[in-house]
Amino acid sequence: MRKTFALHPGRLGLSDLRRLAADDLRLVLAADSDGGIAAGRRLIDTVIEEGKTTYGVNTGFGSLSNTSIAKDDLAELQRRLVLSNAAGTGPPLPDAVVRLILCLKINTLAGGRSGVRRELVDALLALYNAKVVPLIPAKGSVGASGDLAPLAHLAVALIGEGDVRLEGETLTAREGLARTGLVPFRLAPKEGLAMVNGTQMSTALAVAGLFAVEAVFAATIVAGALSVEAALGQHMAFDPRIHQARGQRGQVDVAAALCTLLAGSDLRDVAAREGRLQDPYCLRCQPQVMGACLDHFRHGAEIIAREVNAATDNPLVFAEDGDILYGGNFHAEPVGLASDSIALALSEIGAMAERRVAMLTDANHSLLPPFLVRGGGLDSGFMVAQVTAAALASENKGLAFPATADSIPTTANHEDFVSMSARAAYRLEEMADNAAAIAAIELLAACQGLEFRRPARSSKPLEAAVAAVRERVPAYDTDRFFAPDLAAIKDLVRGGRFLDLVPASLRLTS
């Protein structure tokens, strides 16, 4: 029997979302959640009965908001809204991301600020629990007025239009609903607008990006420590007194993590005898660079965690005051700027890891054989692996350009300044995948470098990291097909294999 996760609207944490993404859980509303939904809906029903002009309930949308809609057409208004807004394009979002979107939409609607019926929330829960995944194109949102087109594709699947995926098979929405015993939902006044308004797509993509970043960051911390060992780097650079003298939190935490990873290594004394007086920045300045990146990741995670529970519809219903207020919480600038900040830091950690790969393969700096092979000439070793790392680092630098720096007016200039949050968050997955490959190349290179330091042993946690790599990829005696080795260790990185080797203080979503 599937375990159940009780959702308390407005109290959903990043760790909850990670659990929901990882485990097969049935989602239900907590028993005390219905009051806010019912109160919000009563206020919407009241304004309909009184004929009070209310945006999105009995008016047109966007620049057509001054057009009044007859009472008999209010439900049809909502159906036509979601159909016309479902204008996305591009590849479909991954199923895991769509399920995150669905979970976030349930969370915000169940808070009662959108004025929807409990029936709509229950229909979305049924869709989630039946694992019917609406086919949502990745492109078409500018992040204001919410993620209109993508969220409309979610809504049209609910009403039996468009396509869905079920157990990996693409079906029409009607067929997918029928196979799971569900029926197309009929939207009531305000409910179509509540479905398409909001930042849930941008936020879900940012959450998925954070999950990926967290795993890559841990791997680059471990890989950086292994590179210190392989290149006979000086541990002194991580002395806590240096970092406390500056006082930057991320820097202090990364230095402490590196000290913990390196503690007890035989190679410390070898480095003191045979290493450099001062190491290249890619080794010595890891706390300063990686710590600054950690600070950006943490800041972004804090903003995204708040957005997970945000009411981002318009208008918003405050039943306790009898008010329906028009505003702009659908504007996803917080998510866009947070994602841009994460992207910039993600580019940096990959760029620094690539520099360590370059250093390890350069005999003039690494104190190791050229390209990490004994038979240089006949064997090329890690020569082109470093080229791949360089290509990926360069690609990430281009992808890191801030999406929020752009704005294009839409809807006849009524929505005249937009966030581009969807693009800001969407590229995090691609960037994390690139950075994971760079981290995998560094892990392979550092482990290979350590082969030349034997019989000296590194620390217990770093030898555990070496063992994890060696379970998948043996040491290089001669050249061999490199791509499968890279893919194997990249899978370890993406799978979070190195998370347990770094302190909990470096986690972003716990």
* Pair of tokens at residue 280: 């290249």
Supply 260's token pair: 């913990």
Q: Which two tokens stand for residue 342?
A: 């994460």
What tokens does 54 get? 């209310």
CA–centroid distance for 21 within its chain: 12
Nearest to 336 by CA among 203, 177, 216: 203
Question: What Å distances lie between residue 384 and 322, 396, 489, CA to CA?
Answer: 66, 18, 17
d(CA 82, CA 306): 27
Q: Which of 55, 128, 326, 476 is catalytic?
A: 55
**Kind plus residue range of the DSSP H or E element containing 388:** helix 383-399
What DSSP element (H or E) covers 373? none
Structure tokens at 381: 């070793």
Q: Which residue in 17, 37, 36 sits closest to 27, CA to CA?
A: 17
**Sign, Cα dihedral of 370, 375, 378, 380:** negative
Query: Considering only CA atoms, which of 343, 344, 438, 348 is closest in space to residue 391?
Result: 438
Active-site residue, 55 included:
yes
3-state per-residue secondary structure call for 236-279: HHHCHHHHHCCCCHHHHHHHHHHHHHHCCCCHHHHHHHHCCCCC
Active-site residue list: 55
